[in-house]
Amino acid sequence: MASLAPPLLKALLLFSLLLTLLPRTAANRIKTLKQCAGSSIPVYPPNNHNYNRLKALSFRSNFATPLAIAEARNEWQVSQLVICARKAHIRVCARSGGHSLIGHNLCKGLVIDLSAMRQVSIKPGFVAFIQPGAVLGEVLWTLHKSKRWMAAGVCPAVGFAGYVLGGGHGPYEGKLGIACDSMLSVRMVDRFGKILDVSRTKRPFLFWAMCGAGGGQFGIVTSFRWRTVSSKQFDNAVVFRFRWPASRGGELMDKWQRYGEWGGAVWFRIEIYLAKRDKAVFGYGACYGVKNVAECMGRLNKAPFFNTPQRSTTYISTVRNALDLHAFFGPKGGWGSYRANNLYEAMLQQRGTESGQANERIYQSTFLRSADKTGPSRQFWQQYVNFCQSAFGARSVPWVVCELNLFNNAIDRKQNNAFPFRQANLITHFIVGGGSSRDTRFVYNRMKKYLRPFTIGVYVNYPELFLENYAKSYWGANLGWLKRVKKLYDPRNFFMNPQPIPAS
């Protein structure tokens, strides 16, 4: 025993020394960072009230504990923070809207918060200038003042930058394509703090990669130039919500999966909940460029799926304008249940309202494609409805949402960008949570397994931490080229991401 005491004592002393050095090391790094950044750039360490306030704003606020959080108010400050972080040997990540479903905007290094950089304006030629901290509701509100519009997702609280860099799926894609198809150029801070102009003519390989790779892969975007369209066809629209008994789900969805959505002039989403909430399959969406309800119903009645028996109308109405249309899709419209009472609130007061909501949930979004034109069978879809209604028998899970959208029309046009799954027929969203972590994970795995025969990829804006081969799942056939871009611009993952593009 005596002979073992000195080595054991040395080990204990070394361990104690490490415990005392680690906090000092973190404190010294933060001190170096703050001294380099200067007093004009706020940098908050843990336990600072501003640190806690900013951390709590993330959609998944429990993912990581950052070493520090800094607020950047302009492009120069972003550049300076990157330079100073390198000097302090701190890796970084950026946060625009904070809506990452797995919380990768809360890294263990320096979080550069861009929410103060939210300017949106219209330039000559109806080109939009958009900073990364703007959220979708703010962008659409400003565009509509000039009678302009763009492809956007249903949630107005989502940050613009993260949304478009992952592609950008939403209710206007059948007409306008995915959101980043309209990207004209970006300005970006690279890992050395250098400001880069990126477009089809300047660094075209990087420009190609930035549409579809997802946020936080190559640098920090500080502004976008964006192509917009007239809002006229979306100012004249009818919104609707219909209901079928769950027992009709297989028949309904078997026909719906082959619907052409009127060349993109109709958007029709399928939605299913737990049976204890409603034993039904819902379809909600909009007709674009119509004068009245009768014209919209005329379009829908020509679709075989729409005449599946036992349909009832839950809600249908014309809208005042495109803002009214978009608010219907969002939380103040009950996610496609009714028109919002207050458009200002619905579009401009949603930032941060969903903070922490992803903490107890798992999200998945898969692209589906059938080997033939018929798609999955009626029996497949009826079983899918049954699974959504029952959570595969996991009784502790109180919250399940299944959503499906057709993936067609303008999306199918070939584009010079890295978005990999245009050939998909459908995109699904599956959200489960609120129960025990074991049951939540069980339901997630069962749904993933059920969809696997038709799955060709996973939507990078709905990242999943449990993916075995996330790189192939997110980027498909484009992975090889994306690796080359990653190797050029961020080979050692200075920009922290729990699921980075492999550099080799």
C-beta of residue 396 within 8 angstroms of C-beta of residue 424: no
Residue 240 has pLDDT above 90, yes or no: yes
> Which residue do the tokens 């119509």 mark?
290
Q: What are phi and psi of 224, to 5 degrees?
A: -125, 150
Within 249-356, strands assigned E span 266-273, 280-288, 312-318
pLDDT at 5: 54
pLDDT tier for residue 62 given thresholds of 50, 70 and 90: confident
pLDDT at 504: 75
pLDDT tier for residue 423 given thresholds of 50, 70 and 90: very high
Could you tell me the domains of the chain?
27-113 (3.30.43.10), 120-231+484-489 (3.30.465.10)
Reported pTM: 0.93
26-30, 62-66, 77-81, 90-94: least confident range: 62-66
C-beta of residue 242 within 8 angstroms of C-beta of residue 206: no
> Which residue do the tokens 């990452």 mark?
100
Show the 3-state SS of 31-95: HHHHHHHCCCCCEECCCCHHHHHHHHCCCCCCCCCCCEEEECCCHHHHHHHHHHHHHCCCCEEEE
Please, which residues bridge with residue 226 across strands? 128, 183
What average pLDDT does the chain have?
93
Burial of 87 (0-12, 13-18, 19+ CB in 10 A): middle
Residue 60 has pLDDT above 50, yes or no: yes
d(C-alpha 317, C-alpha 326), whole Å: 13
Residues 340-391 pLDDT 10s: 999 999 999 998 887 888 888 899 999 999 877 678 999 999 999 999 999 9
Residue 313 has pLDDT above 50, yes or no: yes
pLDDT at 2: 45
C-beta of residue 329 within 8 angstroms of C-beta of residue 154: yes
pLDDT at 351: 87
> ∠ CA(179), CA(114), CA(489), 5° rounding?
70
d(C-alpha 205, C-alpha 180), whole Å: 15
Please, which residues bridge with residue 92 across strands? 110, 495
pLDDT, mean of residues 44-67: 89
d(C-alpha 482, C-alpha 217), whole Å: 10
> Which residue do the tokens 């049954």 mark?
386
d(C-alpha 460, C-alpha 451), whole Å: 17
> Which residue do the tokens 């962008």 mark?
139
70-84, 91-105, 309-323, 478-492: least confident range: 91-105
Residues 19-38 pLDDT 10s: 444 445 888 999 999 999 99
> What is the identity of the amino acid at 415?
Q
pLDDT at 16: 57
Residue 156 has pLDDT above 90, yes or no: yes
pLDDT tier for residue 262 given thresholds of 50, 70 and 90: very high
d(C-alpha 291, C-alpha 288), whole Å: 9
pLDDT at 1: 41
Nearest CA among 130, 131, 121, 139 for reference residue 77: 131
